[in-house]
């Protein structure tokens, strides 16, 4: 299961505002970065084989290859002096790079 914090859900709704047919938020993992994997968040349509989780009327779409890496994760939206953006709190991560943009799982 993948969830959103209330803060992230609010930001996603704000970004989707005005779209006649709202797509889902895809939470995926791609190879890359100095630790091996990177998150990819994007608005997308449902595809065959996607696992769908709903939170506050927002569809979270996760493909079958990414699910083992992000299962149990929570997507948050953070605003700080260093900037603003989405972050993924992932219990499967055993190491991440210094910049926090890539990760490694067990």
Q: Given its phi and psi angles, is residue 64 left (phi above 0), alpha (psi -120 to 50 degrees) or beta?
A: alpha
Residue range 25-77, pLDDT digits in tens: 999 988 776 667 888 899 999 999 999 999 888 999 999 999 998 999 999 99
Decide: pTM greater than 0.85.
no
In the predicted structure, residue 13 carries a pLDDT above the cut 70: yes
Tokens of 105: 């799982």
Which CATH number does the domain 3-105 belong to among 3.40.50.11720, 3.90.550.10, 3.30.70.260, 2.60.300.12? 2.60.300.12
pLDDT of 93 reads 75
- Residues 60, 71 contacting (CB under 8 angstroms): no
- Residues 12, 58 contacting (CB under 8 angstroms): yes
Domain boundaries, the chain: 3-105
- Residues 43, 16 contacting (CB under 8 angstroms): yes
């Amino acid at each position: 299961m993948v969830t959103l914090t209330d803060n992230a859900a609010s930001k996603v709704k704000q970004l989707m505002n005005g779209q006649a047919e709202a797509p889902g938020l895809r939470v995926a993992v791609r190879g890359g970065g100095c630790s091996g994997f990177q998150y990819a968040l994007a608005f997308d349509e449902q595809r065959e084989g996607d696992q769908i989780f709903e939170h506050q009327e927002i569809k979270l779409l996760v493909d079958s290859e990414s699910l083992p890496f992000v299962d149990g994760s929570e997507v948050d939206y953070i605003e700080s002096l260093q900037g603003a953006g989405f972050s993924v709190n992932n219990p499967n991560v055993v190491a991440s790079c210094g910049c926090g943009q890539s990760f490694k799982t067990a």
